[in-house]
């Protein structure tokens, strides 16, 4: 078993140094290395331990592709949080963002409705006992109304599971999950940062947080992909318009040149997403009154500002 683990980590390191070897995910070599003792652990941000089941193609891709090393949204978290921050993580998946936020913030409130993904998140949190007491977890979906909702779970690619059937003919299991409004769950809770990634259902969840957003004006980190929003009969411009009406300005955040830890920040251009519905962007929404302050904090971390 130890030899298999060493081989897997060698392949992971090699794929990191020689990017073309990321194709190992498509050659069957990754599946071969996952057959025996498939559970593997990786370390994120030097101290955070994450467990991956390599029998799941998506998690195999995370492992051999060295995911999480240079993700623009993950790089933002330590730069924008402080010791008194309270973070909400909507669509917490297997707990990567919640754990990273807990390292730098006072408290994290995480939401993940899919039972199997929720189980994996709880297991990962338990692997990090210093951070676990700072994380509160809820096994519910967030929407603009309470009730029970159909949830389409994709076993091979859990991150694309959501409240609408995924594209590309992926095999799904339809389950029923409870939904609540964030305003109802949190009440008068004061939060400073909200991360949301719910495969096109972002506007529903944010509409259910209207009072909280208006009162707290937290920073919002949101995945944007036009084709996902179209499945709900709307456009990313609807979400951007909703947040603009609440006093937010949107920015696109990307990794800088040469895959460094440098970030490039520029004003969000909705037409870029609408004309290319399959591309995914990380949108950082900042209250207008905080834009100068937040961009200065990012600039202090060697972030390149483009047209900001």
Angle at 152 between CA 149 and CA 50, to 5 degrees: 110
Alpha-carbon dihedral 95, 109, 293, 285, rounded to 10 degrees = 70
Residues 6+ apart with CB under 8 A from 266: 251, 252, 305, 306, 307, 308
pLDDT at 4 over 80: no
Provide mean pLDDT across the span 207-234: 96
Q: What is the mean pLDDT of residues 74-90?
A: 94
Instruction: Kindly list the structural domains of the chain, giving each domain's residue range(s) and its CATH number in brackets, ordered by start.
Output: 2-64 (no CATH), 72-305 (3.40.50.150)
Terminal CA-CA length for the chain: 51
- Where residue 263 falls among pLDDT bands split at 50, 70, 90? confident
Query: Is residue 170 over pLDDT 80?
Result: no
What is the predicted pLDDT for the residue at 85? 97
> Is the confidence at residue 55, as pLDDT, over 80?
yes
Is the Cβ–Cβ distance between 187 and 173 less than 8 Å? no
């Amino acid at each position: 078993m130890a030899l298999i683990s060493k081989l897997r980590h060698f392949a992971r390191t090699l794929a990191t140094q020689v990017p073309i070897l990321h194709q190992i995910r498509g050659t069957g070599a990754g599946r071969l290395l996952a057959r025996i003792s498939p559970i593997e652990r990786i370390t994120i941000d030097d101290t955070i331990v994450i467990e991956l089941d390599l029998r799941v193609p998506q998690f195999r891709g995370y492992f051999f592709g060295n995911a999480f090393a240079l993700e623009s949204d993950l790089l933002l978290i330590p730069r924008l949080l402080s010791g008194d921050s309270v973070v909400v993580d909507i669509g917490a998946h297997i707990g990567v963002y919640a754990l990273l936020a807990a390292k730098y913030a006072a408290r994290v409130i995480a939401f993940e409705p899919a039972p199997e993904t929720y189980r994996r998140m709880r297991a990962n949190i338990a692997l990090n006992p210093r951070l676990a007491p700072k994380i509160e977890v809820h096994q519910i979906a967030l929407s603009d109304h309470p009730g029970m909702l159909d949830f389409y779970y994709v076993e091979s690619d859990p991150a694309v599971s959501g409240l609408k059937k995924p594209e590309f003919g992926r095999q799904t299991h339809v389950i029923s999950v409870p939904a609540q409004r964030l305003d109802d769950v949190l009440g008068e809770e004061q939060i400073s940062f909200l991360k949301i990634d719910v495969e096109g259902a972002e506007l529903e969840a944010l509409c259910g947080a209207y009072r909280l957003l208006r009162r707290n004006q937290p920073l919002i980190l949101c995945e944007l992909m036009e084709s996902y929003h179209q499945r709900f009969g709307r456009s990313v411009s609807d979400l951007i318009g909703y947040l603009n009406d609440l006093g937010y300005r949107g920015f696109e955040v990307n990794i800088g040149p040469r895959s460094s830890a440098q970030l490039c920040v520029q004003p969000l251009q909705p037409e870029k997403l609408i004309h290319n519905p399959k591309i995914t962007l990380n949108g950082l929404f900042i209250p207008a009154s905080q834009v100068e302050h937040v961009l200065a904090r990012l600039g202090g971390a060697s972030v390149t500002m483009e047209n900001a």
